[in-house]
Amino acid sequence: QAGKAVTKLVPTKDDYQKVYNKIASILEDDSDYDDGSYAPVLLRLAWHSSGTYDKDTKTGGSNYATMRFEPEALHGANNGLNIARNIMEKVKAEFDWISYGDLWTLAGVCAIQEMAGPKIPWRAGRIDGFAKDVTPDGRLPDATQGADHLRNIFYRMGFNDQEIVALSGAHALGRCHTDRSGFEGPWTFSPITFTNDYFTLLFNEKWVWRKWSGPKQLADKKTGTLMMLPTDYVLTQDKSFKKFAKAYADSQDVFFKDFSAAFSKLLELGVPESQWVSSEPWTMKTMDEQES
Ligand code: DDH
């Protein structure tokens, strides 16, 4: 209608930085939770909400945040992520204009950057989808399998061998929980600091099958306190994977650079180009950088 102006306020980079800061401020709200930070479980939420992408059908990915709906919320691979989704509700309550897809992926960026990892270029523009958009079970990797399975899963998302290995380095953060996946323990001695230790440990420690009644996993022979999943260990066994894993063990800089690019790409899977609010990705500031 003529004369009736509709103003729609488009959030700016500053608005998203405020959301980032809010997420960062609650990461360590509960010192009794795991290793003292929610960062690892938030990172896993960002990854599982993006890693459902199928490039052939262009379904899945981070756009619609379909893990809010059953049955995706109940898929075995997503066990425990209700914790991460609930924490995100606290942020959503304050910033109700942000879509769940943007919120969850921004939490992944925040988790990496606040845990001393590389900067992750990020764009806003995901929209909330509906229950009809949920993806079928089985699109995320199964830790008991081998190299062929890893390739099937990640090639389907559009990644290559180098990107598979780089992304796997996220296991520098966090741990496995018997009541979530059945597996147990952390991959590194510093599970709330992002490093290339996952790769150095893969090569420098001797890994033996753990003797226990749980699912098949490896333990470091020296201390018995660290773990590797069968899919982690495969990165040292498959010739092509091994080449990249070795390069990341040799250089944290190379790992950070490649991880940042691959993770940024992961978070954008399934989002139509026309939806992005900015043509260039943004780099959010860490809390440390904003102090000065
Ligand atoms: Fe992972 N992951 N992941 N992972 N993952 C688990 C935990 C965490 C696999 C299996 C498991 C990636 C790739 C793979 C994180 C990030 C990423 C657990 C344990 C299993 C099992 C869950 C639990 O018991 O709580 C497999 C298999 C793969 C693969 O084949 C490549 C990737 C690509 C990422 C990423 O972020 C880019 C993080 C972080 C955790 C720790 C969560 C926590 O609560 O701590």
Indicate if 48 belongs to the active site. Answer: yes
159 domain residue, yes or no: yes
Asked whether residue 18 falls in the same domain as residue 135, the answer is yes
**pLDDT, tens only, 137-175:** 999 999 999 999 999 999 999 999 999 999 999 999 999
Asked whether residue 163 falls in the same domain as residue 281, the answer is no
2 domain residue, yes or no: no
The answer on pLDDT for 7 being more than 90 is no
Residue 134 has what DSSP assignment? Answer: P
Asked whether residue 97 falls in the same domain as residue 182, the answer is no
Ligand 1 mutation pick, 27, 34, 37, 47, max ligand atoms within 8 A of CB: 47
Counting residues of the chain whose pLDDT is more than 90, the rounded percentage is 96
The answer on pLDDT for 118 being more than 80 is yes
Residue 135: left if φ>0, alpha if ψ -120 to 50, beta else—which one? beta
Read off the pLDDT of each residue in 180-201 and give the average, rounded to a whole number.
98
pLDDT reported for residue 4: 67
Please give the distance, rounded to the nearest whole angstrom, from the Cα atom of residue 86 to the centre of ligand 1.
Answer: 19
Please give the distance, rounded to the nearest whole angstrom, from the Cα atom of residue 12 to the centre of ligand 1.
Answer: 32
5 domain residue, yes or no: no
7 domain residue, yes or no: no
Please give the distance, rounded to the nearest whole angstrom, from the Cα atom of residue 145 to the centre of ligand 1.
Answer: 14
Asked whether residue 275 falls in the same domain as residue 134, the answer is yes
The response to whether residue 176 sits with its C-beta less than 6 Å from ligand 1 reads: yes
CA separation for the pair 146, 153 (Å, rounded): 11
The response to whether residue 217 sits with its C-beta less than 6 Å from ligand 1 reads: no
**CATH code, domain carrying 186:** 1.10.420.10
Would you tell me how many other CB atoms lie within 10 Å of the CB of residue 50?
Answer: 27
pLDDT reported for residue 8: 66
22 domain residue, yes or no: yes
Asked whether residue 105 falls in the same domain as residue 168, the answer is no
When comparing pLDDT for 2 and 226, which is higher?
Answer: 226
67 domain residue, yes or no: yes
Q: 3-state class of 287 per DSSP? A: helix
**CATH code, domain carrying 107:** 1.10.520.10
Candidates 47, 122, 187, 207; catalytic one: 187
Question: Quick one: which of 7, 55, 29, 271 has its CA closest to 154?
Answer: 55
Residue 102 has what DSSP assignment? Answer: H
Asked whether residue 230 falls in the same domain as residue 115, the answer is no
Read off the pLDDT of each residue in 53-65 and give the average, rounded to a whole number.
98
List Cβ neighbours of 147 (8 Å cut-off, separation of 6 or more).
234, 237, 238, 241
Read off the pLDDT of each residue in 7-16 and give the average, rounded to a whole number.
87
Tokens of 98: 């942000």
The response to whether residue 242 sits with its C-beta less than 6 Å from ligand 1 reads: no
**177 CA closest ligand 1 atom index:** 24
**pLDDT, tens only, 123-134:** 999 999 999 999
Distances from the Cα of 161 to the Cα of 118, 168, 187, 234, angstroms = 21, 11, 21, 12
Distances from the Cα of 60 to the Cα of 32, 132, 178, 200, 222, angstroms = 34, 11, 28, 33, 41
Asked whether residue 33 falls in the same domain as residue 107, the answer is yes
Residue nearest to atom 23 of ligand 1 (CA): 176
Provide the domain limits for residue 47: 13-139+263-291
Triad 45, 49, 52: Cα angle to 5°: 135
Read off the pLDDT of each residue in 94-108 and give the average, rounded to a whole number.
98
243 domain residue, yes or no: yes
Asked whether residue 73 falls in the same domain as residue 158, the answer is no
Asked whether residue 20 falls in the same domain as residue 40, the answer is yes
6 domain residue, yes or no: no
Give strand pairing partners of 59. 54
ipTM of the complex model: 0.99
Q: Which of 5-19, 208-222, 267-281 has the lowest mean pLDDT?
A: 5-19
**pLDDT, tens only, 212-245:** 999 999 999 999 999 999 999 999 999 999 999 9
Please give the distance, rounded to the nearest whole angstrom, from the Cα atom of residue 230 to the centre of ligand 1.
Answer: 12
The answer on pLDDT for 1 being more than 60 is no
**111 CA closest ligand 1 atom index:** 39
Please give the distance, rounded to the nearest whole angstrom, from the Cα atom of residue 41 to the centre of ligand 1.
Answer: 9
Domain count along the chain: 2
pLDDT reported for residue 187: 98
Asked whether residue 129 falls in the same domain as residue 192, the answer is no
CA separation for the pair 153, 141 (Å, rounded): 6
The response to whether residue 281 sits with its C-beta less than 6 Å from ligand 1 reads: no
Asked whether residue 87 falls in the same domain as residue 203, the answer is no
The response to whether residue 40 sits with its C-beta less than 6 Å from ligand 1 reads: yes
Q: Mean pLDDT for the chain?
A: 96
Asked whether residue 248 falls in the same domain as residue 283, the answer is no
Indicate if 187 belongs to the active site. Answer: yes
Candidates 48, 104, 122, 207; catalytic one: 48
List Cβ neighbours of 30 (8 Å cut-off, separation of 6 or more).
38
